Chain A
Amino acid sequence: MSARDRILGRLRAAPKGSPVALPDIAAWHATRPPLATDAALAKFRSNMEAAHAEVHDTTAQDWPLLLARLAAEKGVRTLLFGPDTPHGAQLAASAPAGVELVPYDRPVAQWRDRLFDGIDASITGARSAIADTGSMVLWPDANEPRLMSLVPPIHFVLLDAARMHANLLAAMLSERWASGMPTNALVISGPSKTADIQQVLAYGAHGPREVIVLLCLASGGKP
């Protein structure tokens, strides 16, 4: 008999106890009403800022300009991007001056050193966002690999304001996560941090020190 069989055998041999009903997640969900768009955006913004992230308003057309300005302000000289994403193409078409665009276009093993030591910042899209906790959902893929949101010290995230969910459960349900999970899904709520030394908060522990959200609003202006 294998360890597996013995473990499962012991679990099966244990007393059953009274049956436990399937937890009523829907009832709980109903106690947390959806937020109106403005309220959701405001909540997302304040939570993100409280977590030490920056949120800048822009539009689907203008964000490359904003990115160029922010990159210049922060002294970004190399910017990692996914050339085969729509926003990657848009960026390549209006490359910010003085910034080298570095495509993530080959397996990490082929250029690990440069990725870890030679990149100032990255830009990725976000699939959606969560107002309740100030979080962004990323589903990395072949065009925008996992390490883009982790290794460079600054992470710019392009977020469509229309993709705002009230909370994590709402995101999971309305995007039907359970019907097919990607290799890796991420929920990111600000820059990397630690409080492991005397409960003092420090940013940029292993991941990005700065997370900068480029929030694309349909109206373009301040909401």
Chain B
Amino acid sequence: MSQPIRIHAARDFKERSLAALNDPAQRKNFRGAMDFLQMKRRAQFGDKDELTTLRDLGEAIRRYALANLPELLEQLERNLTANGIQVHWAETADEANAIALGIARRVDARLIAKGKSMVSEEVGFNHAMEAGGLETLETDMGEYIVQLAGEAPSHIIMPAIHKTKQQIAALFAEKIPGVAYSEDVDTLIRIGRQVLRRKFAEAGIGLSGVNFAVAETGTLFLVENEGNGRMCTTVPKVHIAITGIEKVVARLEHVPPLNSLLPRSATGQAVTTYLNLISSPRKPGELDGPEEVHLILVDNGRTQAYGDLQLRATLQCIRCGACMNHCPVYARIGGHAYGTTYPGPIGAIISPHLRGLEATYPLSFASTLCGACVEVCPVRIPIVDLLVRLRNEAQAREGSADATLRGSGAARTTLVSTIWNGWALIYSRLRMYRITSWFMSRGRAQSPVEQGAWTRSRTPLTPAPKRLRDLIKETNQ
């Protein structure tokens, strides 16, 4: 049912974004949703001083965790193991899937009920399980809708944000036996509840993501509103949690500040309905809960970001989605155009590490660098600086000091480099600049009326008859 991972380079990105721009219904959905989410977030952070303090602290907690990452991962592993949770390490997406498949085979599971997990999307989990003969079922309402439609999530928090209730009503009526068309949201949710409820008990494995993994106590924190995450982590005999290696925090007391920032930044809620803290499998005498709990720690390129002190900040992310909710580009093209698991600003800065720059460099250029994302990021990731750095990496000459990442140089073209070299030549040599700009002013009548991309949407740029420097000279004489 789910989609395999596909690689999209520059042309694909352009085509997809163009298609999205020309879909007025979808643009309206995104615009409306973005306006709503921005308004809700603003309402949560009326007290600017409180927000500043909290962001400082959120950033400090994440930076502290990253600064001590190898030690904290070992401590997490030690404590989880002592608590009876089995820890697995996966360098790649394939390894992560193989681990899950191995567990499924051993316990003879047929169906995996899934709570929301972006890392599972990232590694192509559903596809890999299906290839291995297992069925996967998304149980988060948004993810369920998206899976039913054979699509991928278009937002990391609200997977079905691109869909209207009319589209969902039609989808349910078409795909779920015995369901009549209804646009009533309560009815639609009740249908989803009924279908999925039966499945939790059938599933041999429940899969979940992790929001924060606490090294100090060996505790997995899951944040959610629906309760499907609790179902997946409680009802099936086996619970597998899958997460990136960066999700660890040092101490239990580090969670409350992050947990205050996360839902407020994401959806403008003060708190989610459930905080689900898992520290061990079912103990003797307990009547429910999984008998086995596993944690799969996924690298999948994260160590590349970690290896660079500037790019390491990428891993501070707590996946709140605020950056995409405030991004003028995301608001126009939506999540699918990016062609990556993580869209929007966070997608542009994390995807190059997960998939390499060859496949993902267009994302770093698809930004006006307006900084709206930086302004709202709860852990203060300097997204704009990281985008600029990735643009540099993408165009760096192979073998040069600027080419340090997988796929560096993939966007380099002789033409563009020559233009910038020429530009630098003109603007760093006063005489060259004077001559060039003089000719531009004098030749203004001959300024081209066709100025490529600029004049497709705007009237032509025409230099002034006299430059400021000339006018000043004249008045000073």
Q: Do chains A and B touch in the complex (CB under 8 A)?
A: yes
A residues within 8 Å of B by Cβ?
A: 2-4, 6-8, 10-17, 19-25, 28, 31, 47, 51, 104-108, 112-113, 116, 133-135, 141-142, 145-147, 150, 167-169, 172-173, 177-178, 181-200, 202, 204-208
A28-B53, A177-B252, A207-B227 are contacts. A17–B158 as well, Cβ < 8 Å?
no
Interface of A is mostly: loop
Q: Which residue of B lies closest to A199 (CB)?
A: B36
- Asked whether A205 lies within 8 Å of B57 as measured between CB atoms, the reply is no
The answer to whether B275 touches A196, judged by C-beta atoms less than 8 angstroms apart, is: no
C-alpha gap A191/B189 in the complex (Å): 14
Residues of A within 8 A of B33 (CB): 198-199
Chain B interface bracket (under 10, 10 to 19, 20 to 34, 35 or more): 35 or more
A20, chain B: closest CB distance, angstroms: 4
From A28, A104, A168, give the contact of B259 (CB < 8 A): A168
Q: Which residues of B274-306 are within 8 A (CB) of A?
A: 274-283, 285-289, 297, 299, 303, 306
Residues of A within 8 A of B68 (CB): 20
> Taking the complex as formed, is B160 at the interface, i.e. its CB lies under 8 A from any CB of chain A?
yes
Residues of chain A within 8 A (CB-CB) of B250 are 22
CB A102 to nearest CB in B, in angstroms, measures 13
B253, A108: Cβ atoms closer than 8 Å: no
Residues B60 and A206 in contact, CB atoms below 8 Å apart:
no
A24 to B60 alpha-carbon distance, docked (Å): 9
Beyond A142-B286, A142-B287, A199-B36, whether A184 also contacts B276 by CB under 8 A is yes
Q: How near does chain A come to B297, taking the closest CB pair, in angstroms? A: 8
Find out whether the CB atom of B139 lies under 8 angstroms from the CB atom of A197: no
Task: Please list the residues of chain B having a beta carbon within 8 angstroms of any beta carbon in chain A.
Answer: 29, 33, 36-37, 53-54, 57, 60-61, 63-64, 66-70, 73-74, 89-91, 95, 139-142, 145, 158-160, 163-165, 168, 185-186, 188-190, 192-193, 196-198, 201, 216-219, 225-228, 230-231, 234-235, 245, 250-257, 259-260, 267, 270-283, 285-289, 297, 299, 303, 306-309, 312
Which one of A22, A133, A199, A200 contacts B270 once the chains associate, using CB atoms below 8 Å? A133
Q: Which residues on the B side are within 8 Å of A47 (C-beta)?
A: 270
A189 touches B254 (CB 8 A): no
A183 / chain B contacts, CB cutoff of 8 Å: 278-283, 286, 289
Cα(A3)–Cα(B298), bound, Å:
10
Check B188 against A197 for contact (C-beta < 8 Å): yes
Cβ A192 vs Cβ B140 within 8 A: no
Bound CA span A184–B83, Å: 12
Q: Nearest residue in A to B60 (C-beta to C-beta)?
A: A23
